[in-house]
Amino acid sequence: MDTQGAWDDTMTKAQSATIFGLTALLSSKLIYNIQNRVEEDKLENMDYITTFAQTVCSDLPGKDAPFGHLELLVRDWVNYEDGFNIGECKEQMREHLDDHLSEKKVPEDAKPRVERLKSTFRSIAAWGLPHPGLKVTKPTYTGEIESIDTDFLYLLDKFSEDFFGGGKFPQPSAPLGCEITTTGFQQVVMNFAKAFKENAQDMAIGLREAFVKVETVSVKEDLHKRFRETLKKLAPESRVLDPQQLTRDLDGLLSRIMEEFKLKLKPWRMPAPDEEQAVTDFQQVLAEAVQQRILVNDQQSLLSSKTEGPYRLSQGDMELGAAGYAAAGAAAAGGVGVGLFGYNRGNYMMDQKLHWSRFNAGFGMACAQTDQYKEDLVDLTTLTTNRMHVYADIAGMTATILTAIFCPGRVGLHTPPPPGWYMGLMMVNVGGAYIWLGLTMWLAMHACLRANAATCHMLTRFVRLPIPANWMLDRARKFLGSWEEQPLREVLRIPFLRHQYRRSGDDEEDYNEGIEIDPDARQRTRHGQDVPAWYRKEVAIDQGEPFESMMPLAAQGTAPEHFEVYREIQNEWWPYDVYARISIFLAFMHLLHCWTYQHMGHLFAENRAVFAAGLVCISTSVLQHILLTLDIMPGQVDFPLQRLGPLAQLVAWVGLAIEYKTYYDEGTAVIGYVLVYVTYAFHIIYTVQLIRICAPDFSAPDQAEVPAGTWWPGQWRLPKAFKHAVWLVAPPRHLEAGQNDLVGEMRKASEGGVQSAGQEGRLTYDASEAKRRDVHRALGKQGESPAWFNVRTGLLGLLIAWVYLVVGFTIEIANAHTDHPSMLNAFGLPNNLRDPRYRPPKLGYSEPTEVGTGGAHHGPAVGIKDHARRLSDVSALDLLAAVPRDELVAKIRSALPHLADLAQGKRASRGAAPAASMVDVSMMPAVQPQRAPLQWPAMLQPKILCGHSTAHKMLALSHHGRGSMIPILNGRATEMSDFALHGAHGQGPLLAGHWDEHGLLLVASTGALFNCPDEPSQGIWNCHQSNLAHVPIQDGALRGTVAISRQPGLKKDAFSIRAAVTFPGESTVTIYAHSGEASDSWLPSGEVRTRAIAASLAFAPSGAELLLASQDGAVGRLHLSTGERLPAAAPFAAEHGCHAVCAHAGGIARLAKSEPESPALFLG
């Protein structure tokens, strides 16, 4: 017996004591499993139950301890030394046990506990097992013997050999020395279980009563056995004894046994009523045995008198004459009559006793079988309800995830969304997933509630225990006086002779014909019409009891009636059960589709990660194919067109990659349109195929009833493709061989039928179309289930949605590249009604913003209202008053021609208004810069240049942290090495940088500074954000340019930083300075007006000069201390726009770009 759960945190001490106490009392050997070592709390738990046992056993007779052997098995024992043999291991465990159970070693307060344990158990030992090994504890362990530690296996083998071997095991359990026999085991267990109550105060008293009852049962068994043996010797059944002498002998034997029984009960000091009841019960058992032996002896003496009668009469004839003959004949006849009377009366008494026993046994077995029927109904219903709970729980959790995908309403929150045709792919699948998740929950709820209601109806109204009424019990009971009602032929019937035969025209049935005996014995057996009249009467009485039936005779089959009824009622929910399973399959297929489209769109729109999007598409497509393989039975679908559904994602991936192509051309666009149509076609074919395979099959044959498998009647029309995935179980149609329906036989007898041995029950099963219509009475008008109707409606709705998307995409293509007005803006722009530029700002904000449009600093509403500028507080009149009137008039007059051109829709030519240059071109030598022959790495769009302050090399960086290191040798750029900045993110795009021997200093669009020490390692340059204050550049809203410089400070290892900032449309440069201390802030140190608008800024390596580059590429040098301006580089000869400028140890470098070429690097 296992005491699993005893002494843990979830059980009370009384409950643990009950488990442990019953196990200890009923076990000859008990293993107490302890981890690591024997501890005091474990012994205290054991002492809790042994204290009660000692209280109980203190006043009970017996020399032995209440419990058997106790073995303390310590697992994970770590104290064995290397090289120990088995003897040393045993000695160590013996010493460890003595530390806790030796009266010489334990404290004074623990000695009573030690004494109780030793007196309660016959013997106590301990054994230690080491840890089996770390591999055994891992979840991946599958039971390999090789993984178990060899020391553990060796010690476990020795423990098993000592514990179970040596002729010491098994031994019978004997609490208090009283062995528990097979006949008394049930009573012993019941007594002990009753004794262990949760109330700890009454536990000792209950245990004592249990011990007393167990000992009483044992004494009864011993004395009854002795009584039977003495009775067999005193009055053998083969001998006929003098009745008077036999009565005296048996009375004496009964008196002796009862006196001994009373003496046995005295030491137990039982309550007087209990003791008297025990004596009375035992005396009644013995008295019945005495009366039975006397009755058998009387019958045997009568039979012997018949055989000796003629001899005695012949002797009397010589002396008595004629009168003697008459008297002797009368005496003989009277003796025979008395003997026959007593013989038949004894048979009648025995038959009545057997009839009562059979009556009780029949109804008892019928009640037990009805309990089994109740369990059958509960099991069948639980199979459905548990499955529906699983479906509903999964659907609820999945709907939560789906809602998180659906809530944004679009793909890509910070960039323009993907094309409309792609959003349609995602949204239709989102809607489909909602349909199937909702249907799953509603269908599961309906099936679960209907199944529970049907089962409750049957359990409370039909499958009831066949309890007999009082008048039935009274009729089954017989008084001995009813013997007088028997006919004379039964009272004086001569044994072994047949006197009653069937008369001609007698319609009565034969009785007792079902027995199987040999022909010779059959001649001596009462059967047919040769049975007592009372037997025929009782058969009619027993088989005439009414039994309730819910089934019309025409609908009954050969299975138990409750199975037939349940199978009929099951028609009202099995379609919902089946289509709830199919709905959860459809939900996950559509959910995987929308997941895939959502992630692909995000990776394209936000990250431009075309290959990463393909990985998402491939993995989810594989998962969808696996689900199709698991849920759809192979061979049940003509053409596996459902496989096209997952492939649509791959086609959409290629089509979306074409949509995001860098340069547009009509040929590629046509290919993209074709791929979109193919994607839609795949989804349409996939949806049509789902309608086909989810439809009920009206031509499927009947299922074979296989044990341990699913089964349902052939009239249940299920989708054949999903038969192996629904796991339906209907009640059986027939009873298996060797099974009996006792309740059905009793019901059949009440209807007037006869259930003979070896005959089958009524067979009225009808598989006709009428039966099929009866089975589908709960379905729709067309014989379809409402569940299938709802699923089909959902699939048709999705089919209409796909066709609608095809039509809409066709309209978009037809209107593409035309002057036709469109209802909505182009792809990626919000609807005008929702454009934040035409809405007031929210409370507490200065500008209107909307999630998904770029925010206050990058969205379309920037600059519309309350833009933070330095002159925002100056009115227009003040501005006009500050400008000389003649200068203002001249400017307005010069602008009038341009305004007229704009009003007439004219555009200026490309060369009409050349941009102002940073230097006077006439003062510059005619030296053109040298273009470096570089091929930029893929995915690198350089926007920033950083020259090293001392070395001949420079950096080209993108706004997002990718870059290349360019060595410069003899004024020429050599082979580049690529790298990526790690840690320089989270503060917006990078704007400028400074590179010296201490590393790289970067400034982001929010003004945050990043330090990148040393140089790149294996393509990675680790950076971290500086703790200095942000550069004051309007927190990410800057549209101008920035330059940054770092110079040694006054303190050791300290640096001072300078920053130069320009604002768009202004020809001024603002200089800021910072001390380099974390506690300081940026301070403005000056403002310089430039010759032209600066397109790029850069500090010289010394930090004393500022390089200013205009849009045409001209570079001027501004000395910050003196304000002197000098030309540094001539403008570009070609039409290049300057993006960045920097100074390096060898001169000046400029980054320029001319569409559609990639950026070019110019040196000099």
pLDDT in the model for residue 951: 84
As given in the structure block, the two tokens for residue 383 are 């199979």
pLDDT in the model for residue 291: 84
Query: Which of 268, 264, 23, 66 shows the shortest CA–CA distance to 174?
Result: 66
Q: DSSP string covering 689-752, please? A: HHHHHHSPPSSPPPPP--TTS-B--TTS---GGGHHHH--B---SSPPTT---HHHHHHHHHTT
pLDDT in the model for residue 438: 93
Question: For residue 992, what is the DSSP state?
Answer: E
Please state the rounded mean pLDDT for residues 988-1003.
90
* CA atoms of 168 and 166, how far apart (whole Å): 5
Over 50: is that where the pLDDT of 910 sits?
no
pLDDT interval class at 801 (50, 70, 90): very high
pLDDT interval class at 148 (50, 70, 90): confident
* CA atoms of 90 and 96, how far apart (whole Å): 10
Lowest mean pLDDT among 275-284, 416-425, 489-498, 561-570: 489-498
pLDDT digits (tens, 9 = 90+) for 1018-1047: 889 999 999 898 888 765 556 678 999 998
Cα angle vertex 606, ends 601, 607, to 5°?
A: 100
Over 70: is that where the pLDDT of 802 sits?
yes
Please state the rounded mean pLDDT for residues 140-160.
85
pLDDT digits (tens, 9 = 90+) for 366-415: 788 888 888 888 888 888 889 899 999 999 998 988 888 887 766 766 66
Over 80: is that where the pLDDT of 147 sits?
yes
Over 50: is that where the pLDDT of 826 sits?
no
* CA atoms of 633 and 638, how far apart (whole Å): 11
Residue 193 has phi, psi (to 5 degrees) of: -65, -35
pLDDT in the model for residue 964: 92
pLDDT in the model for residue 922: 59
Q: Which of the two residues, 952 and 24, has the higher pLDDT score?
A: 952
3-class DSSP state of 104: coil
pLDDT digits (tens, 9 = 90+) for 911-947: 434 446 767 665 565 566 778 888 888 778 888 999 8
Please state the rounded mean pLDDT for residues 205-232.
73
pLDDT in the model for residue 709: 65
Q: Which residues contact 365 (CB under 8 A, 6 or more apart)?
A: 742
Residue with tokens 């009414």: 546
Domain at 932-1163: CATH architecture: 6 Propeller (2.120)
pLDDT in the model for residue 52: 58
Q: Which residues contact 85 (CB under 8 A, 6 or more apart)?
A: none
* Length, in residues, of the chain: 1164
969 beta partners = 972
pLDDT in the model for residue 707: 63
Per DSSP bridges, beta strands 1020-1022 and 977-982 are parallel
Question: For residue 934, what is the DSSP state?
Answer: -
Most confident of the following: 161-165, 323-327, 876-880 = 161-165
What percent of the chain has a predicted confidence (pLDDT) above 70?
A: 71
Over 70: is that where the pLDDT of 503 sits?
no
pLDDT in the model for residue 1092: 81
Q: Which of the two residues, 635 and 207, has the higher pLDDT score?
A: 635
Over 70: is that where the pLDDT of 532 sits?
no
* CA atoms of 444 and 730, how far apart (whole Å): 18
Q: How many C-beta atoms lie closer than 10 Å to residue 632's C-beta?
A: 23
pLDDT in the model for residue 226: 85
Cα angle vertex 31, ends 27, 33, to 5°?
A: 145
pLDDT in the model for residue 1012: 93
Query: Which of 509, 490, 487, 499 shows the shortest CA–CA distance to 530?
Result: 499
Task: Reply yes or no: is the peptide bond before residue 170 cis, omega within 30 of 0.
Answer: yes
Over 90: is that where the pLDDT of 356 sits?
no
Most confident of the following: 342-356, 710-724, 768-782, 867-881 = 342-356
Residue with tokens 């020391």: 151
For all residues of the chain together, what is the average pLDDT? 75
Over 80: is that where the pLDDT of 952 sits?
yes
pLDDT in the model for residue 1: 56
pLDDT in the model for residue 583: 92
Please state the rounded mean pLDDT for residues 47-61.
57
Q: Which of the two residues, 676 and 560, has the higher pLDDT score?
A: 676
Q: What's the distance, Cα to Cα, between the start and end of the chain in Å?
A: 94
3-class DSSP state of 242: coil
* CA atoms of 1162 and 932, how far apart (whole Å): 6
Please state the rounded mean pLDDT for residues 135-159.
84
pLDDT in the model for residue 311: 39
Over 70: is that where the pLDDT of 1009 sits?
yes
Residue 1031 has phi, psi (to 5 degrees) of: -65, 135
Query: Which of 570, 566, 571, 581 shows the shortest CA–CA distance to 443?
Result: 581
pLDDT digits (tens, 9 = 90+) for 830-871: 444 444 444 556 566 665 554 444 555 555 445 544 444 444
Query: Which of 1, 134, 4 shows the shortest CA–CA distance to 68?
Result: 1
pLDDT interval class at 1154 (50, 70, 90): low
Over 50: is that where the pLDDT of 744 sits?
yes
For residues 909 and 898, the answer to whether their CB atoms sit within 8 Å is no
For helices 742-750 and 561-569, give the axis angle rounded to 10 degrees: 100
As given in the structure block, the two tokens for residue 714 are 């052939």
For residues 1092 and 1109, the answer to whether their CB atoms sit within 8 Å is no
pLDDT interval class at 1011 (50, 70, 90): very high
Alpha helices in 827-964 (DSSP H): 855-858, 876-882, 885-903
Tell whether domain 13-176 is in CATH 3.40.50.300.
yes
pLDDT in the model for residue 431: 92
C-alpha distances (whole Å) from 276 to each of 92, 118, 207, 272, 354 are 55, 36, 21, 6, 29
Domain ranges of the chain: 13-176, 178-269, 932-1163
pLDDT interval class at 338 (50, 70, 90): confident
3-class DSSP state of 523: helix
Residue with tokens 């050599």: 974
Q: Which of the two residues, 427 and 328, has the higher pLDDT score?
A: 427
Lowest mean pLDDT among 218-232, 334-348, 871-885: 871-885
For residues 299 and 343, the answer to whether their CB atoms sit within 8 Å is yes
Give the chain's radius of gyration (CA, Å): 52
As given in the structure block, the two tokens for residue 388 are 């529906």
As given in the structure block, the two tokens for residue 1009 are 């500074």
As given in the structure block, the two tokens for residue 789 are 């109707």
Over 50: is that where the pLDDT of 517 sits?
no
pLDDT in the model for residue 798: 93
pLDDT in the model for residue 50: 65
What percent of the chain has a predicted confidence (pLDDT) above 90?
A: 12
C-alpha distances (whole Å) from 1056 to each of 234, 846, 1026, 1081 are 126, 35, 14, 12
Most confident of the following: 281-285, 430-434, 824-828 = 430-434
Per DSSP bridges, beta strands 121-129 and 67-75 are parallel
